[in-house]
């Protein structure tokens, strides 16, 4: 399947599935292209928002070491989430 994306507009063009052979008969598939919209992000739930804000306050981000993450989880995240 070929996909041509235009991310600035939020739409993309993709080809339709091709026909295939089953028991000697050609079945399925359609010619042409389909214009689709890009999926939207799902809204965050209240617990997800709370965890994200507490993690930002504690300085948790991508790329920190496991020992650093463990230390922040014990010393910072735990007490703040219990409030």
Q: 5 forms bridges with which residues in the sheet?
A: 12
d(CA 73, CA 77): 5
d(CA 61, CA 70): 13
pTM for the predicted model, two decimal places:
0.51
Annotated domain spans of the chain: 3-37, 46-82
pLDDT tens, position by position, 28-78: 777 777 777 777 888 999 999 999 999 999 999 999 999 999 999 999 999
């Amino acid at each position: 399947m070929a996909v041509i994306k235009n991310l600035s507009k939020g739409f993309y063009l993709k080809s339709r599935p091709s026909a295939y052979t089953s028991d000697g008969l050609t079945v399925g598939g359609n010619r042409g292209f389909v214009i689709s919209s890009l999926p939207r992000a799902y809204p965050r739930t209240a617990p997800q928002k709370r965890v994200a804000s507490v993690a930002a306050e504690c300085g948790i981000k991508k790329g920190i070491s496991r020992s650093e993450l463990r230390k922040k989880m014990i010393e910072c995240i735990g007490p703040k989430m219990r409030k």
